Structures are given as C-alpha cells and as structure tokens.
Structure 1
Amino acid sequence: MTFLRPLFIATRLWFSLIAFVLLFVAAYAFPVLFPLVQLLFAAFMLLIAIDGWLLFRKNKVKKPVFFARRDVPDRLSNGDANPLTIYLENYYPFRVNVEIIDEIPFQFQRRDVLFRAGLNPRETRAIRYELRPTRRGEYSFGAVNTFVLSPIGLLKRRFQFEEGKMVAVYPSFLQMRQYELLAATNRLNEIGIKRIRRIGHSMEFEQVRPYSTGDDVRTVNWKATSRRSDSQGATLMINAYQDERSQPVYCLIDKGRVMQSPFDELTLLDYAINASLVLSNIAIQKQDRAGILTFSDHVGQLLPADNRTGHMLKILELLYRQKTKFQESDYESLYASVRRHIRQRSLLLLFTNFETVNAMHRQLPFLRRLAKDHLLLVIFFENTELRDLLDKPATDTEQIYLKTIGEKFAFEKKQIVKELAQYGIQSILTAPKNLTANTVNKYLELKARGMI
C-alpha cells in the first residue's frame, strides 16, 4: 500500500487502454489480427513496468530524486497581489514532465492553481504566481503536490512537500510601503497625491544629512559639503528641518452595519483599515502622532496617538485583530469616548458611510459635538456600482425607473457633503478604490493650510 499510494495513472495510459480495447474488438471480428494484438499488449505491459521502475528507482547518492519548495511570505497583505514562488529541482537522470497542484487556503475559493513544467536532469526551476486575499485572519496552506512523469508518460509519481503552513493576512502593508517609498522620494504624485504648496516654512533645525533625490536644493549646506568633499569625495550635504508642532491624528473606524458592503471583494471596513494604516504611517513620517479608535454598537479598541519607534507595529497588530458583527453603530458612545480620552485638539478622520441624508441627520448632533473640540474629517463612500448603472443608457421602462432611483441616491450623497460643510465639518466622498489616495491628499492639504 505504501508503494501504491504515490502511484497515479497518466492520461496517456487511459487512452492507450481504450485503443487496445478497440483492437481486441477488431481482432474478434478478424481472428488473424489476434496474435499481433497480443504481442502489442505484452509490449505495452512491459512499457508500464519500465515506466514504474524509472519513476520509483532509488538514487545512488541517497538524495531525493525530486524536490519542491513553496516560498510564501510570513504574512500576506490584504487586498494586494502577493507573490508566491514554487521551486522545483530534478535529480532524475532523465528529463521529466511535472504537474504541480498547490493546495492554497480555502478562503481563495480557487481550484485552478495547476502548473506544468518540463525539467532536464539537475535542472532547477521557479514558478511564480500571485494570490490576492480579501479578508484578514489566518490562512492555512496545504501540501505542494507534484506529479512526475518519465519520458514514457504512462504513470505518475506523486511527491508532497510543504505540508501545513499557517500564514497571517494583515492589513495592506504592501500599500503602506509603496506610499512610504514614494513619499521619501517625493513621487507621491505618481499614485494620485497632489503637490500642495505649503504656507510658511518651519526653520527648526534637526540635522545635517546627505542629499537625496527630491530634497530642496535651497537647503544645501555648502560648508558641510566642502568638509565632506575633502575627506570622502564630492557629496552634497543639506540641512534637514522638522515641523514645529507634532499634532495628534486619530483614525476613527466605524465597524457597524454600514461598513459591510463589498466592493471588488473587499468590505468597506477593510478599505478603511487599509487606508488607516497608510495614513498613520504618513502622519508619523510628517512628525505627527497617529492613533486608532474603533467602534460599532460600542467603543472597541483605543490606541493613543504616538510617533515613537515601534508604534506602527502596534497599529498594524491592532488593525489586524479587528472583528465585528456589523451591528448598528452608536455615535453617542463614540463621542463620549473621544471626550473622555482625547483631551488635546486633534485631527479626527471618521471612516463611515451614509447612504441617505436622513441617515446622516441621525448622527449629525454627535458629529457637530466632535467638530466643536477637534478638526473632524468625515470620509464616506460613493457607490461605484450605482455609478456604473447611471452611466449606461436606459433602453426600457424598468431601466429608466432604476436610473431615476439611482440618481436620487447619488444626489443625496452630494447633499450630505454640502450639509456637513454648512456646519464646518470637512468631508470626503470617494470611491473605495481611491480611498487611500484621497485621504492622504486631504491630510496633506489640511496640514499645508495650517489647520492642524
């Protein structure tokens, strides 16, 4: 049984058996063909035996005849395409054809992770593919199943590697690193971040450091450059300055019913969590302090604003562990918690969603109280599927009715923005896919205007 367990029959063998059945049927009608068919069948059985011997022969140097390994990161980024690699090594003395089936976690609901490759003796090959998770949590990978065929190709031998690997899916840290890298090189405009002219300039000296691409040439320190050039070659040195004030920036994340809607397989809650991670990292880079507060039918976790080393790791872990039952959100509890725990005037970025003006009016008293003590920025979502419906021409009465209702909902979204502005409340109405870029843009705008 141990020998038979990794043994599988190839498609070529099944077709060959069907051909022999037809030949034996023909030999029954024409008896003169029967001895020839018997001889061919005996040779065919001998080929099967040789194929089995080639696949299950032992290596003289006591090494495995075939090896495979899956290279998967210790954690995956939610909502992003994460690269994975399968490495194959052939130690057979002949060329083999390989079929690889990777047992990916059930959360992906995919049954098409099948690859084929041909490897020469002593050849190593890497197969790369991508997975895009849409939920946070733990994902369990199964085995890497490799089915090896010899040049005869009648039988397969299965090898299994990398059994039982658990990987955590965190909020979009790949997106966070992308924004961090582009911010460091002054290339945020490549992903939709606008260049905003800053009013005034802080002149609080921080350090002298080497020039990097994107730095202001007006801050070149020529004396330090000349000293550095004498001893270590020509290297431009600049004066680095820091902002005079470090302001608290809090992301208030609504985990209630309105954040359950899915867009491109991610819920609005996960879009908000990913944007909060990126914004917190940008705020810390801008010398501000970042904090997180979550709520639904009650107030969840509160992470006080800070910018010390290791604080981003705390934010990442807090956002990763967010769970919710998508109950009705309690804004009164939110206001009470903010009043109790956030004493200093701060920038509050409220990630929520309002579908109608009446829904916003129910929460407006609490929003006005928050805006009285802090700078409040309400971020809610445009229904992109509704926008697709409105962009299509109507061809019958039913579609005209649907477009009319859709126009009403779209108008109410714009009306919410206007009503919030009447009470001095900043707001962003954005499509889910543009949430991060629009939020960072607004934060940089408020900072450049000196509002925080």
Structure 2
Amino acid sequence: MKTFFTKFYKNLFLNRRLFAGLAISSLLFLIGFFFPWFSIIPVVFFYALIILLILDLWVLYSLKQGIIATRQIADKLSNGDENEIGIVIKSLYTFKVDVGIIDEIPFQFQKRDVWFQTTLKHLQQQIIPYMLRPTKRGEYEFGNLLVYVSSPLGLLSRRYVFNESKVLPVYPAFLQMRKYELMAISNRLNEIGIKKIRRFGNSAEFEQIKNYVPGDDYRTINWKATARKGEFMVNSYIEEKSQHVYCVIDKSRVMKMPFEGLSLLDYAINSSLVLSSVALFKEDKAGLITISDKKGAVIPADNRPTHLNKIMEVLYREKTRYLETNTELLYNTIRHTLKQRSLVVYFTNIESLSALKRQLPFLKQISKFHLLLVVFFENTSLKTLSETPAKDVASIYTKTIAEKFVYEKKQIVKELNNHGIQSILTSPQNLTVNTINTYFQIKAAQKI
C-alpha cells in the first residue's frame, strides 16, 4: 500500500491552470472580506474547483495504463550524421488528452530541451520524429521516456514512465557510406559534386572497337578500322580491377583539432569508410592502416563481402594520441604490409613547411613503390580571417599572419608536387567528395 501511494504521489503533477484557479479563489476571498454580500461567491468557486480537481484526478487514473509509448531507433548511430529517432505514442483514454513527452537522450548531446507536445484522441497513434547528430564515437546511453498526460480540465498531469533504457554504439559515418553506395549504383554521384569519370581501361584484355569521342586516348586509335569506316575508331580495353587501395590515417595530436563538433580524425575516419566502400563497389581491394607514434591497426587489402564491416569495427575503436607521427614507422609498416603497387591515401594535417620537411624523406620513399596521395586540411578559420577586410592596425596584423599561414599551406602542396607526390588540400566538410573525385581521376588515368 505504501509503495502504491508513493508511486501515485511521484507521478502526480499540478498544472498551471490549477494554480491560476487557486489565485482567482484567493482574490475572490479577499474581495469578500471587504464586501460581505460578495462572500458566497468565493466559497462556491472554491468548492467547484475542489470538485473539478477530484473529477480530473478520477478521469486520469480511471485506467491503469492510459498511454502506450516506445522509442524507435536503429541498433547503432552514425557519427557526424543526422540520425532519425521516432517516438511512437498511443492513447487508450476515451477522451482527448494533451500529452507532453520528455526523452532522456544521452548526456553527450548536452540537450535539456527534448520536449514534445501533442494531442491524442481515443486510440489515436502518432509517431514523433526528431534528429540527433553525434560527434564522437563510442557508447551512448538512452534513458526513459517520460509522458505527461492532462485531461481537458487541465488541472492535473499524470506521468507515465516507460523503461526504454538502451546503450547504442556510435560508429563512423555508415549513413554517408550507404548514401554514396546508392548514388554510385544509380549513377547519381554528380548530384553531390562527385565527378564519376567513365574511362575504359588500358589493360591487356581487349574489349571492343568503338567510335572515337573527345577525351579518348589518341594512342588507342585503330587505324585499320578507321580506314574502313571513314571515321576515327579506337580500341577499348576492360578496366583493371582488384587494385589495392589503402587508407592510412594519422592519429597524432595534429588530428585533434575540432571543426563543427567533429575532430579532424573523425572526418578522416568517416571519409576512409566511404572511400573503402566506393573502392569495393568498383571491385578494388580496400585496406586500412592507422599510425601515430606507435603502429595502430593494420588490415590487409581485401574485397570479401564482410571486409567493410571489419574496417568499420576497427575504425570505431580508434582514438587520437598526443604525440607526433613516427613517419619512419609508417614507411616500414607500408613496406612490410603492401606486397604490390597500391594507392595509398594518407589522411593527415600538415600545418607548416617545417613539419613537412620532417616527413618528406619518408613520404618520398613511399612514393617510389606506391602511388601516394596526401590528404590534409585547410584551416577554415584562418582562411576566413584572411579574407576579412582589416579595419585597424591590430586587424591588419592579424590578417597578415592569417594570410601567411594560408599561403604556407599552398606552398606545402607545391612542395609535394615538386617531389611527384599527389596531394589534396581540402576543408573538412568537402573531404569525402574531394577524395572520391581524386580516386576516380586516378582510376581513369590508370596510374595505380
């Protein structure tokens, strides 16, 4: 009995309408004190309020379970993406009720305003959707669903507590990966800025003779067929497949820098997952290496159906370290792991020419045996600052320093190109698109 009344008391809440009624009742009693002929009115009003309060209490507790609610959510969340969450709620009351819902979302989101209001009729069911964007990988714990129900009288609210506690892992951006996969299948990659270049391969396996179109390699012109047809004809060959594509991710302190809630490491991880997915779709073999001051994960290139899940599981656990990258260790790891010429996409963040010079001897050695693509990040804050008009002496000084750092990034690209190393200097939000574009260009040029 004690437990029942304790539960009853904890789940009963007084609404503003009741406090407004009590305030009006107090005001009427105050007026009746000065005007005796008016004293009967506050008494009638007060007892009427008490009767309505009892009636409201009775209708709210007339059913043992007047509301059914549950949370619709996937088994895992995608890092850096908008994940849709749904609250399914149904009323069993025979009258229309006003409903307020609190969803106890994980503390990592630091949101205290996840409150939804709606109105439900008898046996009516609604789905209330909302979006969550996690910015860190790891485990996220969802709590209970708290549903507050008010009758049309609106004096009291009854709280229902639904145990929807659940711990969900947040994986690298698999939603982005699926989106790119679907667009690649339906040939709609150009809608998001990816230039999917169609180019026949130059392998030894001949496929067909076709009409020449601008962009075809003139070296493949079939002069005999051209003479017979009277127009240019070219030989086409089946594109080489099963080439090795390795994503190498720098986990050192330079990748700790945040941008729009995500660290540069998370952007690199998300892009690596998408690139691996696209490479497997193109029937290449995808591999992964993570590096910092110590050797991290090493996944040899493969194209088995379960290989992408293996890469995702490894990326889920990767964290930033706080020392500089051991580029010599990276070179040795690549030499011992990669058994054939491969495309090595190295995600890092080179902030200065002096930092590049420390790594350049080993990057040059890697580029002798493999096609090395260095992907590093623009400092978007400095770029914005360098483009902002200066208004005083202090802002001129700040703008000059920002321009110096922006220019130094461009010098890094030039220095890499001078040594035959391809590079991408990109903003974090354009990382995936620019990386996949370059991958398609490399495939079309048969550089691997």
Match of 1:45 in 2: 50
| Secondary structure, aligned partner of 2:85 | strand
**Cα pair distance change 1:165/1:205, threshold 3 Å:** farther
**Partners of 2:200 and 2:238 within 8 A in 1:** no
Match of 1:297 in 2: 293
Match of 1:268 in 2: 264
Question: How far apart are 1:370 and its partner, in Å?
Answer: 1.1
The CA distance in 2 between the partners of 1:329 and 1:12, in whole Å, is: 64
Give deviations 1:83-111, integer Å, cap 9, x for gaps: 11111101101000000111110111111
Question: How far apart are 1:391 and its partner, in Å?
Answer: 2.6
Report 1:132-151 matches (<5 A): 132-151=133-152
Q: What TM-score, normalized to structure 1? A: 0.88
The CA distance in 1 between the partners of 2:195 and 2:297, in whole Å, is: 32
The CA distance in 1 between the partners of 2:352 and 2:36, in whole Å, is: 85
**Partners of 1:90 and 1:123 within 8 A in 2:** yes
Question: How far apart are 1:362 and its partner, in Å?
Answer: 1.2
Match of 1:213 in 2: none
The CA distance in 2 between the partners of 1:203 and 1:161, in whole Å, is: 65
Report 1:159-238 matches (<5 A): 159-198=160-199, 200=201
| Secondary structure, aligned partner of 2:355 | helix
| Secondary structure, aligned partner of 1:32 | helix
Question: How far apart are 1:445 and its partner, in Å?
Answer: 0.5
Given the alignment, which residue of 32, 46, 52 partners 1:27?
Answer: 32
**Partners of 1:376 and 1:426 within 8 A in 2:** yes
**Partners of 1:379 and 1:428 within 8 A in 2:** yes
Given the alignment, which residue of 401, 406, 424 partners 2:402?
Answer: 406
Question: How far apart are 1:203 and its partner, in Å?
Answer: 8.7
Question: How far apart are 1:398 and its partner, in Å?
Answer: 1.7
Report 1:37-436 matches (<5 A): 37-58=42-63, 64-198=65-199, 200=201, 243-436=239-432
The CA distance in 2 between the partners of 1:167 and 1:130, in whole Å, is: 15
Match of 2:9 in 1: 4
Question: How far apart are 1:202 and its partner, in Å?
Answer: 6.0
Shift >4 Å, 4+ stretches: 201-206
**Partners of 2:202 and 2:446 within 8 A in 1:** no
**Partners of 2:294 and 2:326 within 8 A in 1:** yes
Question: How far apart are 1:409 and its partner, in Å?
Answer: 0.4
Match of 1:234 in 2: none
The CA distance in 2 between the partners of 1:99 and 1:444, in whole Å, is: 51
The CA distance in 2 between the partners of 1:56 and 1:308, in whole Å, is: 58
Give deviations 1:338-375, integer Å, cap 9, x for gaps: 12222321111000001111111111111111111111
Q: Which residue type is aligned with residue 409 of structure 2?
A: K
The CA distance in 2 between the partners of 1:109 and 1:328, in whole Å, is: 32
| Secondary structure, aligned partner of 2:116 | strand
Question: How far apart are 1:28 and its partner, in Å?
Answer: 2.6
The CA distance in 2 between the partners of 1:85 and 1:326, in whole Å, is: 39
**Partners of 2:251 and 2:291 within 8 A in 1:** yes
The CA distance in 2 between the partners of 1:145 and 1:360, in whole Å, is: 55
Aligned positions, number? 414
The CA distance in 2 between the partners of 1:392 and 1:21, in whole Å, is: 61
| Secondary structure, aligned partner of 1:12 | helix
Question: How far apart are 1:30 and its partner, in Å?
Answer: 2.8
Match of 1:212 in 2: none
Q: Which residue type is aligned with residue 121 of structure 2?
A: N
| Secondary structure, aligned partner of 1:348 | strand
| Structure 1 unmatched runs, 5+ | 207-240
Q: Which residue type is aligned with residue 41 of structure 1?
A: F
**Partners of 1:259 and 1:326 within 8 A in 2:** no
Match of 2:221 in 1: none
**Cα pair distance change 1:156/1:399, threshold 3 Å:** same
**Partners of 2:70 and 2:164 within 8 A in 1:** no
**Partners of 1:170 and 1:320 within 8 A in 2:** yes
